[in-house]
Structure 1
Amino acid sequence: MKLELEPMREPDLLKTIGKEGPLAQPPQQSQREMINCDRSHRAYDLCSINGPTVVDPKSSTFFLMDPTTSSPQPIVEKIKPYPRKWEDFPMARIPEVTIMSGPLSPKCEVQHDSHSVVFSAGGYTGNVFHEFNDGFIPLLITINTIHQNQDVILVVSKARDWWVNKYKDLLNVFSKHPIVSLENDTSTHCFPSATLGLISYSFMTSMPNSSQTLLQLRGLLDKAFGHGARHNPKGEPRRPHLVFLSRPRGIGREILNEHEAKQVAEEIGFNVISFEPTGNTSLHQVYALLNSSHAMVGMHGAALTHLLFLRPGSVFVQVTPLGTNWVGKMCYGEPARAMGLEYMEYKIDVEESSLTEKYDKNDMVIKDPGGFQAKKWSFDVMKIYLKEQNVRLDLDRFREHMKEAYEKAKVFMDRNG
């Protein structure tokens, strides 16, 4: 089964590719036309080999096979296929791959009829936000943009066993073929063409057509982890299910009075389900829980990425600590709206932040977080607001937010079960 995706706007690199796809090559195409790299984007580089390609996993080299036009000097391009090129720390962990023209290339040992898409599962992989923001969402955009309705094979560097096992069902939805691992495979593989790198617009695709992308991804998650099953409520009307995301102790942004906050939600009418996802939590379990819920609330953090598992129309409440308004909006607020969720935000007041115990009320850290950050999200700034800060919710304020969330969740439950 081919992945049925809607076409999206093409980057400049693709304007020279014929509408029939990467294999539609004009006669006498030069090596430079067949090997093309676009390095104009802040977040990513994107290279294409628009002709028969052989990859040698041992050297992570992609060869243009038997170019139709000889060149005095072979063409050599290098790329790190991970869409975060402005940031040195993760890019230092991404292996570089090489693209090279002939005339000589390794002998083909495994022949494929499908096009290859090449990317890295390194960098910040291990954090669920980055696994989707820097991985699966850019992969979906890239397949949408370049390989419209075409079968593809995923060629992955840094495809560690835990990542493959965790996401194997989702990978199988993107491609019916086993992935080719650059570190673990020893055979040379041949493809009709290759796309190296992933198109990314950063922050969960905050772009004009992000709703299209995220709703498509939601459909793929349903195929991978829900087996296409529709929610089928049983029995009489019941209390709306509220998933309350908890954070591990000692890592920052902990809700210090979480137990009392859950009691407030129960008193209002929610059936509260506590959930603290870990790297070992089954995605089938996550999907089953959130797909059958009516609301989710949680502190700003990577675990909120699980909003992708919520049904459109359900309620999502993000608790945003001091100094995280803009990053909360970009990472989760706008994507939630794009997915059709009923998005609510609980912005904490200064008195609810534990930073008041460390900094004077007139300190810029407290008085003017935006000015203190000076529009630069540095490591030191991140450490203060994301690592050093905990929150004690004003339960009266929180109750009012939960009342509104309950009314919306009840409407959603009555309509959708």
Structure 2
Amino acid sequence: MKMGHDMKHVRSCCCRIELQKFGFGLVAGCLLVSLAYVSEFNFDAVSLLNSTSSSSLSVAPSSHRVEDIVTSQQVVRKDEKQEISLQCKLCEIENAAAAAANNGSYAIDSLWKTTTTFEAKPTTDERSEDSTLEKKPMMCDFSNSRTDICEIEGDVRISGKNSSIFSVSSPETDGPYENETWRIKPYPRKADKQAMSNVKELTLKSLSSFKEAPQCTDRYDVPAVVFSVHGFTGNYFHAFTDVFVPLFETAHGFNGEVRFVITDFRARWIHRFLPIFKSLSRYDMIDLDNNDGVLCFPRAIVGLKSHNELSIDASPSPKGYSMVDFLRFMRGAYSLKRDSVAAVGIRRPRLLIISRERTRKLVNVKDVIRLAEKLGYQVVVPRAQKDLAQFSRVVNSCDVMMGVHGAGLTNIVFLPTNAVLIQIVPWGGLDWVVRTCFGEPSKEMKLQYLEYSISEEESTLIEQYPRDHAVFTDPASIRKRGWVPMKEVFLDKQDVNLNLSRFKPVLEKALELLHT
């Protein structure tokens, strides 16, 4: 701009001098001077454009952040771009280091192969020639706090005898692969050492040579989902939150065209939940640990997607699934008739009481039944049943389900939409626990949720501890000791004796919700 201003100034001066003193001779001189300036300006402008273009080609942006900066600014110096790209790279390396500290299985140095490089972008011909040199590592995601998951496509070979999964590439078609190894326990509770201690670890390897790969003994033309059914699945709640909800989110999109390859296989446990497995896959399950062959698939997902307790995060879900979809799936799997609760009208609403038999028992359950019947409920108190299909029909027939916090409340997965869950919270400041396990999930399922926290007088702990004990005066101090002491006192030693006058408004509120 300064150069253009100077040129304009020279032109003005020359014109004034020419008119007043020097005549046509100086006009020619002015023209020569002007041409000189224009020539110099054009040269600088072309040089500036060339240098800008060269600068933009000298950096291969590694993220959208760099590209956005280039778009928003017409001219960016080469050293500025390099600094921005380096900052992005360092952020990625720093994040990778944090991930490695958490799970010990992330290859940090591989980021240097995939993030920004400070070399000129290759031409189209160069890119096509260099594409064969690109590494194609197995797609493993260790960033989730609950689960590790790997998705592999191509030539996948699974050896149960060695607990190994191989991804085999062809140098002629896919380009050379690095021989890399990952280890994964395919159960979605990776931060819990106790849960993961009895889950078998699988080894995943990427191979660049067919000679190194074990020979296939069985070939399948559908994808495989590989997972464990051990961990905490002996608990009814964990069976759903750790296996069935994650398995639904992972496999439902295949519309049955998927085969389950299960490690830590437990035939009796699987048989109990067979309708769920059969509704997700049309094919027989494979007991991986007792299979001596090499199973070959076109694709494999190792591990299960998981978000939270009895929860699906619909935003990253490929199909946008939610817990409403899961409940609809469960009703289909067990051929349940009621999809939703209509206004009860003149009929008596059915109240299901989940009565625990060991800990957190409802000691005055008969009194609660009489109260509920006076309020207009038809009360159902089923005994524990091994036949889950039959029990699911009982649950589905009810409008309200109530019980003290525990695994039995997992049966909300069989309730019709708009049914009411009443969760009774034991003494001890456990509100955060019960809301995480059933309170928030019930809302995601489009159920209506009521919560009743008992007083210390309604807890049988008053028969075991003096009233000035920390159990009553400072329950938080018990919780701070850790899960085991808290569980021993507030979950294992405690039963519930409901104050009927205090509890009555809760049953009335449930009726109001049903009539609404």
> 1:184 maps to which residue?
290
In structure 1, what is the Cα distance between the partners aligned to 2:259 and 2:238? 22
Q: Say whether the 8 Å CA contact 1:63–1:99 is kept in structure 2.
A: yes
Question: Is 1:216 aligned with 2:325?
Answer: yes
> 1:54 maps to which residue?
157
Deviation at 1:54, TM superposition (A): 1.0
> 2:143 maps to which residue?
40
> 2:379 maps to which residue?
272
Q: Closer, same or farther in 2 for the Cα pair 1:114/1:43, shift >3 Å?
A: same
Deviation at 1:33, TM superposition (A): 2.6
Q: Closer, same or farther in 2 for the Cα pair 1:175/1:149, shift >3 Å?
A: closer
My pick for the range that moved more, 218-227 or 360-369, is: 360-369
My pick for the range that moved more, 333-342 or 98-107, is: 98-107
In structure 1, what is the Cα distance between the partners aligned to 2:265 and 2:224? 16
Match of 1:110 among 218, 235, 247: 218
Deviation at 1:84, TM superposition (A): 0.9
Question: Is 1:101 aligned with 2:206?
Answer: yes
In structure 2, what is the Cα distance between the partners aligned to 1:275 and 1:158? 32
Q: How does 1:224-303 map to 2 (within 5 A)?
A: 224-226=333-335, 237-248=346-357, 251-278=358-385, 280=386, 282-303=387-408
> 1:202 maps to which residue?
308
Deviation at 1:380, TM superposition (A): 1.5
Match of 1:166 among 252, 264, 272: 272
In structure 2, what is the Cα distance between the partners aligned to 1:178 and 1:75? 31
Whichever residue aligns with residue 42 of structure 1, its letter is S
Whichever residue aligns with residue 226 of structure 2, its letter is V
- Unaligned 5+ segments in structure 2 are 1-98, 100-105, 107-113, 115-129
Question: Is 1:314 aligned with 2:419?
Answer: yes
> 1:65 maps to which residue?
168
Match of 2:494 among 389, 392, 395: 389
Percent of aligned positions that are identical: 31
In structure 1, what is the Cα distance between the partners aligned to 2:455 and 2:165? 54
Q: Secondary structure of the equivalent of 1:33?
A: coil
Whichever residue aligns with residue 316 of structure 1, its letter is L
In structure 2, what is the Cα distance between the partners aligned to 1:131 and 1:46? 19
Deviation at 1:259, TM superposition (A): 1.3
> 2:455 maps to which residue?
349
Whichever residue aligns with residue 373 of structure 2, its letter is E
Deviation at 1:40, TM superposition (A): 2.4
Q: Say whether the 8 Å CA contact 1:277–1:303 is kept in structure 2.
A: no
Tell me the number of residue pairs that the alignment of Structure 1 and Structure 2 aligns.
379
Whichever residue aligns with residue 139 of structure 1, its letter is L
Q: Secondary structure of the equivalent of 1:316?
A: strand
Task: Tell which structure's C-alpha radius of gyration is larger.
Answer: 2
Question: Is 1:407 aligned with 2:515?
Answer: no
Q: Closer, same or farther in 2 for the Cα pair 1:113/1:78, shift >3 Å?
A: same
Whichever residue aligns with residue 265 of structure 2, its letter is A
- Unaligned 5+ segments in structure 1 are 1-11, 17-25, 412-417
In structure 2, what is the Cα distance between the partners aligned to 1:314 and 1:27? 57
Deviation at 1:184, TM superposition (A): 3.3
> 2:237 maps to which residue?
129
Whichever residue aligns with residue 41 of structure 1, its letter is N
Whichever residue aligns with residue 389 of structure 2, its letter is H
Q: Say whether the 8 Å CA contact 1:206–1:335 is kept in structure 2.
A: no
Kindly provide the CA deviation profile for residues 332-373 of structure 1, in whole angstroms up to 9, marking residues without a partner as x.
011111111111111101111112222333433223334542
Kindly provide the CA deviation profile for residues 260-319 of structure 1, in whole angstroms up to 9, marking residues without a partner as x.
1111111111111102335x2x22112211111111111100010001110111111111
Deviation at 1:28, TM superposition (A): 4.0
In structure 2, what is the Cα distance between the partners aligned to 1:377 and 1:266? 41
Q: Secondary structure of the equivalent of 2:450?
A: strand
Q: Closer, same or farther in 2 for the Cα pair 1:200/1:83, shift >3 Å?
A: same
Q: How does 1:144-159 map to 2 (within 5 A)?
A: 151-159=257-265
Q: Say whether the 8 Å CA contact 2:225–2:260 is kept in structure 1.
A: yes
Q: How does 1:352-367 map to 2 (within 5 A)?
A: 352-367=458-473
Deviation at 1:66, TM superposition (A): 3.9
Kindly provide the CA deviation profile for residues 118-138 of structure 1, in whole angstroms up to 9, marking residues without a partner as x.
110001112110011111111
Q: Closer, same or farther in 2 for the Cα pair 1:355/1:207, shift >3 Å?
A: farther
Q: Secondary structure of the equivalent of 1:277?
A: coil
Kindly provide the CA deviation profile for residues 366-407 of structure 1, in whole angstroms up to 9, marking residues without a partner as x.
233345423x75111111111011111101112221122223
Q: Say whether the 8 Å CA contact 2:313–2:322 is kept in structure 1.
A: no
> 1:76 maps to which residue?
181
Q: TM-score scaled to structure 2, two decimals?
A: 0.68
In structure 1, what is the Cα distance between the partners aligned to 2:240 and 2:427? 25
Deviation at 1:148, TM superposition (A): 6.8
Q: TM-score scaled to structure 1, two decimals?
A: 0.83
Q: Say whether the 8 Å CA contact 2:148–2:303 is kept in structure 1.
A: yes
In structure 2, what is the Cα distance between the partners aligned to 1:352 and 1:284? 35
Deviation at 1:237, TM superposition (A): 4.3
Whichever residue aligns with residue 201 of structure 1, its letter is H
In structure 2, what is the Cα distance between the partners aligned to 1:98 and 1:393? 52
| Structure with the largest fraction of helix | 2
In structure 2, what is the Cα distance between the partners aligned to 1:348 and 1:85? 33
Deviation at 1:228, TM superposition (A): 6.7
My pick for the range that moved more, 316-325 or 185-194, is: 185-194
Q: Closer, same or farther in 2 for the Cα pair 1:230/1:352, shift >3 Å?
A: closer
Deviation at 1:29, TM superposition (A): 7.9
Deviation at 1:99, TM superposition (A): 1.0
In structure 1, what is the Cα distance between the partners aligned to 2:400 and 2:321? 22
